[in-house]
Amino acid sequence: LSIYLCLFLLLSVSAVVTQRETSLRVIDALRDLHPAYKQLRDVVVQAVAGAKLNSSEVIFKFNIDIASRKESFMQTAIKTEANVLRQVNGQSINIDTSCLGFLRQSIDVNMNLAGVSFTNCLNNVDASLASEITRVYAELQVNETSFVNLSVYDVFRGQNVFVNPQTIVDRLVEKLSSLQQAPTELTEELTLLVEAFEGRLGEVRAAYTSCLTMNDQLLQTTLGTVLTQLQQICLGSLLPAASTSEPTEETEQTEQTDQTEQTEATEETESTEPASEPAPEIPTETEVPPTEVAEPEPPTPGVVYRNAL
């Protein structure tokens, strides 16, 4: 009996030691999970940051396009106003000036009303853009939180590290596998969110263009009515289309100014240059330099005396 008891005790001790070793393996599995979890957090943060940068680029392009469209419609309105004012201001002196003054006031009022309508269109864009930005950032934040806030220690719920450590180890291994597969799904989801955001901004852009077009057509109609009133009420007549081939007075003055400046610059250059000295004459080969004639030497006094004797 004592032998069986000893064997039982030995087996019990061996089982306990083995189970304790398995319990320690839980810590090893947990340590293996921490680097994967950190890598997941880094990938998620970078992916969400990249998605936010992409959404920021979408907003930038949207704002640039909105400004360009507004500028285009404003230029059209200003050009139409200038053409109508040209018709009103170009009437002969026989036309009633007070009637023409009323037309000028009408043009100014209609332009101011067009400005109000253009502002209303832009206010709608501003409200829609703010709503869409809030929405997309909330969606990105939810996706980020769903991955970053993953619990590592939920595998211990309802378990005992000394009673069933192997179950905890199995759960940790399964958790590690799920963490390694999560980033790919996140990247796809974030890309779809940004694309959907860009599509909704496209709808806002289309609505803005429609609003501008409608108000521009209304402005064109009202300014066209001014031309009708010019003829039927003020008894004026429409002028022929302005020719762009003839130089304007400002252009002629500019050309004259450029010519004057060029002439003055030329004169100044000539006055500042020093007068050049005449180049020395170089004798040609046919010219022969004059030869020197040797003069006779005076006679020696002794020789002259002997000749006299």
pLDDT digits (tens, 9 = 90+) for 109-119: 999 999 999 99
Residue 83, both tokens: 């053409």
Residue 57, both tokens: 């680029």
User: What does the pLDDT read at residue 18?
Assistant: 54
- d(C-alpha 266, C-alpha 259), whole Å: 11
Cβ pair 175, 152 in contact under 8 A: yes
User: What does the pLDDT read at residue 37?
Assistant: 81
Cβ pair 81, 223 in contact under 8 A: yes
User: What does the pLDDT read at residue 5?
Assistant: 52
Q: What is the pTM of this model?
A: 0.64
- d(C-alpha 101, C-alpha 107), whole Å: 10
Instruction: Please give the distance of CA 278 from its chain centroid, rounded to a whole number.
Output: 64
Contacts of 61 (CB under 8 A, 6+ apart): none
Longest dimension (CA), the chain: 191
What would the mean pLDDT of 47-62 be, rounded to a whole number?
94
Burial 250-261 (b: 16+ CB within 10 A, else e): eeeeeeeeeeee
What would the mean pLDDT of 170-198 be, rounded to a whole number?
83
Cβ pair 166, 18 in contact under 8 A: no
Residue 240, both tokens: 């022929």
| Higher per-residue pLDDT: 112 or 283 | 112
